[in-house]
């Protein structure tokens, strides 16, 4: 790849809105083996505060009140529109921590839970954010 092609390629890269740590990816692999395709939804605060919840794909009804943020480790990731308005300036990273949560997320029986870490986008990253879309099919 020439320097010019690399510069063009670099400029065309989109900043992901959501990512996963290697530790989270290992758990996702384990859950996928047992449950098949998976999806995530960032909960709005009910049972376990505001936690990323993992479900078998299709088990949670997604609609126009949800926003698709992207994929983590081949799993679609959604969040409610209202919550997205507060978090739209931050990149989310899904990680794991020890301890059982009180949600219906698939990892809970393993004695761990998914957590979100967030950080503000840099000015450059904010210019190249991956697009979002309504959760409607």
CA separation for the pair 9, 93 (Å, rounded): 24
Rounded to two decimals, what is the model's pTM? Answer: 0.85
Q: What is the model's pLDDT at position 137?
A: 59
Q: Which domain holds residue 61?
A: 16-128
Q: Does some domain include residue 36?
A: yes
DSSP 22-79: HHHHHHHHHHHHHH-SEEEEE--STTTSS-EEEEETTSS---TTEEEEEEETTEEEEE
Q: Check which CATH number belongs to the domain holding 90 and give it.
A: 2.60.300
Cα–Cα distances (Å) from 82 to 17, 52, 70, 136, in that order, read: 16, 15, 17, 15
pLDDT at 12: 63
Averaged pLDDT in 10-residue chunks for the chain of 137 residues = 39 88 98 98 67 94 94 96 92 93 86 95 94 82
The answer to whether residue 80 sits within a structural domain is yes
Domain count, the chain: 1
User: 135 lies in a domain?
Assistant: no
Q: Is residue 116 part of a domain?
A: yes
Domain assignment of residue 4, yes or no: no
Residue 64 lies inside a defined structural domain of this protein: yes
pLDDT at 125: 95
pLDDT score of 127: 94
């Amino acid at each position: 790849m020439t320097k010019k092609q690399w510069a063009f390629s670099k400029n065309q890269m989109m900043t992901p809105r959501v990512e996963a740590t290697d530790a989270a990816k290992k758990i996702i692999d384990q859950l996928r083996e047992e449950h098949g395709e998976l999806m995530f939804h960032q909960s709005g605060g009910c049972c376990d505060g505001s936690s990323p919840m993992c479900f078998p794909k299709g088990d949670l009804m997604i609609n126009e009140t949800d926003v698709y943020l992207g994929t983590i480790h081949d799993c679609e990731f959604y969040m409610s529109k209202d919550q997205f308005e507060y978090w739209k300036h931050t990149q989310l990273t899904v990680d794991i921590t020890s301890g059982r949560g009180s949600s219906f997320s698939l990892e809970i029986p393993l004695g761990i839970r998914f957590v979100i870490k967030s950080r503000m986008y840099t000015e450059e990253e904010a210019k190249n954010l991956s697009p979002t879309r309504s959760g409607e099919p």
